[in-house]
Every structure is written in structure tokens, then in C-alpha cells.
Structure 1
Amino acid sequence: MSTPFAHLSILAREQPLRVLLVNAGEADTLTWAGLAQPLRLAARLLGGRLQLDVRTPRQAADGAADGLADHAGAWHLALLVADETQAALPPPLIRAVIERCRAAPYWGGVGAGVLWLAEAGLMGGVRIALPWALYADAEDIAERAILTPNLFELDGPHLSCCGGAASADFALTLVEALFGPNVQAEIKEALCIDRVRGPEERQRVALQARFGALQPKLSEAVTLMEANIEEPLSTDDVAGLVGLSRRQLERLFKQYLGSLPSRYYLELRLQRARQLLLETNYSIVQVGLMCGFSSGSHFSTAFGTLFGNTPREERQRKLAG
């Protein structure tokens, strides 16, 4: 599990653990179903250890309780959820809903909810996973929030998920962090889910759609990196090929991705290595070479730093599954 999400385990001490889900969209969207269904199954399995409070925005704003005490601090984790196509709520209503959510120690948004929180000025300097389809609407928040291409993020108390199918991965990651891998495994089996994607995995969509509206040079740079995994380019090479200075390129990566180009490139290569370890039968040495690592020890150390286990342990996990 990614280290930031491991920090959520502190909430597992709460008895019961109370989670607020504010559904600002339709009940049949993939974003909502992917999030709510795993958590509902968890609540059923855990009995009184987990209490879900599902509300509409109006109910959340008005404080209409449904069997739970309604006061500041009533929830330990709160999420504002909406599909990326959902129109924004009226400003007074969204302010009231956000105020409710922020009373929780951990809070955030899923889908369009992430954009609404950022537009309210609450994600300054925070890494957020915004649905790629909303990037064109995010230009005015780009300097305040750090947009990442990841499926979901936990930065301090702030949770964000791009929604869609990633909502299920997000919910199952929360379940593992809060209640352990055994509970997660039961829910995966019930939902016929084979693999849970981690927060470091990226939204699988054209780079032009993700970044083009904001920064075409950034799109070009990441495209170059993705096309040169086996024989990595230097940062100076990438900058020169897209027509920027090294400093300009580093500034773009810092602003939009919260990372240096070299670090982002390394993580790209490691994510590709992890995919190969889980989905192919290439040897660990072959995988390292295919992802630009000539030294096995460097590959193992870098992989362990990012993912928390070695390439060998990752391969064993595949074999055990």
C-alpha cells in the first residue's frame, strides 16, 4: 500500500468509524457506484465498526441526520462525490456542504467534487487527482492546486479521486488502509475484482486531453518520456526536444505535477516495471533492463522506495494471486 494511505490506519481505532458520503450526482453513475458499493459491503461485513452516512447535498447542508448524531466532528472521513458531467451546485449550497465535510479529520472529493473543492480555494499547494475531462475547467486553479495524473491522492487530510472506474480502486484502498487486507479481499471476491490499482497509477487517457489545454509543452515532454522507457533521455535532452530550457521544464513539472522531471520520469519507468512484473512472465532482470535500469540493485532500491516492496516481492504477489 502507498505510504500516505497507510496513515489512515489511525482512524481504525475509532469505534464506530463514521464516514459521510455526499452524493451530488445521480445514483446510477459509475463514479458513485464504484465508491459506495465497496464501502456498503465493508459496513455489512464489519457490523457496527463502520457506519456510512449517505446524504444528498441538501440533507448534508440542512443537517438532516439519519440515525447519526449531527454535530461538528460527527464524521471521521467525509467525501463530496459527483460524476465529472455533473453541473456545479448553487454556491450557497456547495459552501454549506463543504463546511460539513471539512469538520472531519480526513475529507475531500471524488470526480467533479474535487474541482468544486479546488475552486473554493481549499486545495492550495495540495496534490489532487482531478478527472482528465475537467482539466480544461481547471486553468484558474492551476496555481493553487497541484494537478496530478494519478487515479487518487491523499495529501495531508485531503483526499481526491478522479472518479469513474477508479472510484472502486479508491474505495478498496480505503478499506485496506482502515480495516486491513483480509476485509479488502472479501470485498474484492464479492465484487469479482481481481486487482486493485494503486494511487500512483495514472489515468489512462491521451496526454493531449490531460494537459494539452493547459500546457502543450508539458504534454510533449511526458509523451517523450513514455516513448523512451528502455533508454531514458536526460532532463536536458527532454527540455531541448520540446523547445524549453531545463529551468522552464522543471517549473512546468513542479506547477502541474508536483514533481521534478527526473523524479516523474523515474516513477513512469517504475510504474511500467510494476505492470510488467504483474502482467508478464519476463524475468526481474529483463524487466529492469526494459525499463532503463542497467543495475539490478538500483532497480530494486528505487522500486522499493516507491512501492514499499521489492520487485521480487511484487512478482511473488502475482504468483500468490
Structure 2
Amino acid sequence: MKSIGIVLFDGFPMMSLSCITEPLRVANRENHHPVFEWKMITEHGQPVSSSSNIKLSVDHCFNSDFQPDILLVLTSYYPEKTVTKSSIEFLRKHATRNILMGCVDTGALLFAKSGLLKNRKAAVHHESLKALRDPYAANVFVDLLFDFSETFCSSAGGVATLDMTLALIAHFNGKTLAAAVAKAINYRPLASTFSQLELGKDWSVSRLDKRLADAIQIMLENIDEPVPISNIATQLELEGWQLRRKFQKYFGATPARYYLNLRLENARALLKNSQKSVGDIGIQCGFSNIESLSRSYKTRFGIQPSKDRDY
């Protein structure tokens, strides 16, 4: 069982905390025996209030002997207040243990101030990006919804924290469990999350046809700048007709149609899970202009992208 320490500061976002703990709870249920446990940590072990004024009791303080396998940090909308000698020493102490560490949105500032973002990047909310970037290199704080590696994970906050948590579950307990959790909570992860959850060596397509899985992986890795289908076939040492036959056999669609649908599914996920403009989403999903996105989107989903948002 993996233990997770969740460090909370006054004003932490309750939504992000729920996007961590609820998927972990469901993972324990779907796995039929617990694979994760989590404990809350504050500097002095005192109760902490969220940004919505919900007060929580906690389990540990910075000086406790609790040594989690994973440490995640949730700060407030005023992250500068969390940068103290005590918090920096706490993070540095746990960093020496070479565990997975991570943060949500502005929590990245505390890691940067602690000197723990060297050769790493942290996803932050687009509204915080400019303010956080000013004293640092442009590649430290990045405009991503989430990022995950073996030693560090981060999310831009909000629902993107779900994707980060699903990636965490997949990393430690397999993609099948992570996909089951996503299904149980009625959440459709971003395409980038699906590439981690569903297209690994144990994914069914890979078992049926590895080259087909490799083709899909190339597509998922090039959502923003689509690769010509002929180039994909060449990379896989296939003739174009061979690749088309594989897609027709398993999906009843051409490679180009399947690729387009991946980009459209990603666009739809971004529309529903981010506040990016339709134009920005179109660019991020490989469409040269809004008209091109809107035309393909309406054909696929029967609605204009501008009208397919939850807010």
C-alpha cells in the first residue's frame, strides 16, 4: 500500500483536494483491497480552512515522523504566504528521500523557492502563469493542464487534478485500474491522460496488434501538430494500404478519420474541463482556424463547440 501525505495551507482549494482523494478512494474500492492511504499535514498539525471556508482536521505536522511514499502540496491563491523557512526545510527534507512529490497550481512556487524545480517543470493555471514566471526561466512553469513523471507531478488546478491523480494511480497500480476509476466517476480523461492509461503494453489494442497501438500512440503524441498518415506508416515500416487495413479491421474507420476523432475528443475534453477559448483549443488540437474546428466538431458531435461547454 502506498501512503500519501497531502500538505495543506490555509486557503487551499477544496475542489483540488477532492480531485485527489476521491479517485484514490474509488481506486481502493475498484481494486477490492486498499492500495492507497492518505494523511493530511499542516505545519503545526492544527486544523486548516479551505478557500471555501471548510475547516478540516489533520493527521500530522511538519515535525512528525510520518514518511509518506508520495507527497502532494496544496497551497492557497496567495502562495507567497506559504514560502517560509519551515515549509522549505520540510520539502527539502522529503526530497532527499527520492519519493514522488507533486503540487497543484500555485504550490509550484513553494517548490521553486525550495530549489526543487531544477530540471523539472510544473503545470500551473494560465491565470497564474505570468506572475509566477517572471523571476524564473520560461520552461519552469508551463501552460499544461497536468504533468507527470516518476519523480514529480503537477496540475494546473481544478478538474485537471483528476487527470494528475489518474496518472498517479496508473503509475503505481496499472492503467487498467486507472481506467476503471475514470469510468466509475463518469470522467473522460484528456487524450494525454488516455495515452498513459490505455495505450501501454497491457492495453487490448497492443495485445491484438502492436503496430496499430504504436500508430495510435504517435497520433496521441501529436495532437497539436498532426503528422501525415503517410509519415506514420513510414515510421512503422508499413505501406499505406496496410495501415488503412488495420484501422478498418479494428475500428471501421480510416487512419485519418480515427486521428481526426482523437483530436476532436481532446478538443471536447478541453472545452468541458478548461477555460481556454475555442480558438486556443482549436490550435492545441491541430486545427488551423476556428471555422475548421467548428465544422468538424459539429459533424462529429452535432453541436457547435462554443455551445458545448458546461458553463
The TM-score normalised by the length of structure 1 is 0.53
Give the number of equivalent residue pairs.
208
- Alignment partner, residue 58 of structure 1: 44
RMSD between aligned residues: 3.9
Partner Cα distance (1:157, 1:139) in 2: 22
Q: Secondary structure at the match of 2:188?
A: coil
Q: Residue 134 and residue 176 in structure 1: after superposition, are their counterparts in 2 closer, same or farther (change >3 A)?
A: same
Name the counterpart of 1:20. Answer: 5
8 Å contact kept, 1:172–1:184: yes
Residue matched to 1:296 = 229
Tell me what 1:36 maps to: 21
What residue is the counterpart of 2:299 in the other structure?
none
Q: Is the 8 A contact 2:19 2:159 kept in 1?
A: yes
Q: Which amino acid aligns with 2:26?
A: L
Q: Structure 2 CA distance, aligned partners of 1:196 and 1:115?
A: 25
- What SS is found at the alignment partner of 1:172? helix
Aligned CA distance change for structure 1 residues 175 and 118 (closer, same or farther; 3 Å): same
Secondary structure, aligned partner of 2:187: coil
- Give unpaired runs (5+ residues) of structure 1: 1-15, 65-69, 202-265, 274-290, 304-309
Structure 2 CA distance, aligned partners of 1:109 and 1:28? 12
Q: Of the candidates 172, 178, 183, which is equivalent to residue 177 of structure 2?
A: 183
Deviation per residue, 1:174-221 (Å, 9 max, x gap) = 1122212332233223311133452699xxxxxxxxxxxxxxxxxxxx
Cα separation, partners in 2 of 1:55 and 1:40, compared to 1, 3 Å: farther
Equivalent pair of 1:25/1:81 in contact (CA under 8 Å): no
What is the DSSP-based 3-state SS (H/G/I as helix, E as strand, rest coil) of the residue aligned with 1:123?
coil
Q: Distance in 2 between matches of 1:269 and 1:19?
A: 30
- Aligned identity (percent) is 16
Distance (whole Å) between structure 2 residues aligned to residue 268 and residue 197 of structure 1:
7
Compared with structure 1, are the counterparts of its residues 181 and 44 closer, same or farther at alpha carbon in structure 2 (3 Å cutoff)? same
TM-score by length of 2: 0.54
Superposed displacement of residue 169, structure 1: 1.0
Deviates more, 1:150-159 or 1:137-146: 137-146
Cα 1:301–1:42 change in 2 (3 A) is farther
Q: Which amino acid aligns with 1:53?
A: K
Q: Which amino acid aligns with 1:136?
A: K
Partner residue in 1 for 2:223: 271
Residue in 2 aligned with 1:157? 151
Paired residues of 1:110 and 1:161 also in contact (CA < 8 A): yes
2:306 matched residue in structure 1? none
Is contact 1:175-1:183 (8 Å) kept? yes
In structure 1, how many angstroms separate the alpha carbons of the residues matched to 2:109 and 2:234? 36
Give the 3-state SS of the residue equivalent to 1:270 in structure 2: coil
Q: How far is the alpha carbon of 1:144 from its aligned partner?
A: 8.2
User: 1:108, 1:159 within 8 Å by CA — same for their partners in 2?
Assistant: yes
Structure 2 runs not aligned, ≥5 long: 46-59, 196-217, 237-242, 266-311
Q: Distance in 2 between matches of 1:52 and 1:301?
A: 47
Alpha-carbon distance change, 111 to 28 in structure 1, aligned in 2, over 3 angstroms = closer
Counterparts of 1:269 and 1:95, CA distance in 2: 35
Q: Report deviation, 1:158.
A: 2.2
Q: Which has the higher helix share?
A: 1
Match of 1:198 among 192, 201, 221: 192
Paired residue for 1:82, among 66, 72, 75? 75
The residue type paired with residue 95 of structure 1 is: I
8 Å contact 2:125–2:157 — kept in the other structure?
Answer: yes
**Distance change (3 Å), C-alpha of 1:155 and 1:191:** closer
The 1-side partners of 2:232 and 2:8 are apart by 43
Aligned to 1:139: 133
Say yes or no: does 1:117 pair with 2:111: yes
Q: How far apart are the structure 1 equivalents of 2:190 and 2:69? A: 24
Compared CA separation, residues 183 and 139, structure 1 to 2 (3 A): closer
Distance 1:123 1:301 in 2: 38
Q: Which amino acid aligns with 2:151?
A: P
Contact kept? 1:131, 1:163, Cα under 8 Å: yes
Residue 302 to residue 125, structure 1, CA distance change in 2 (3 Å)? farther
Amino acid at match of 2:62: D
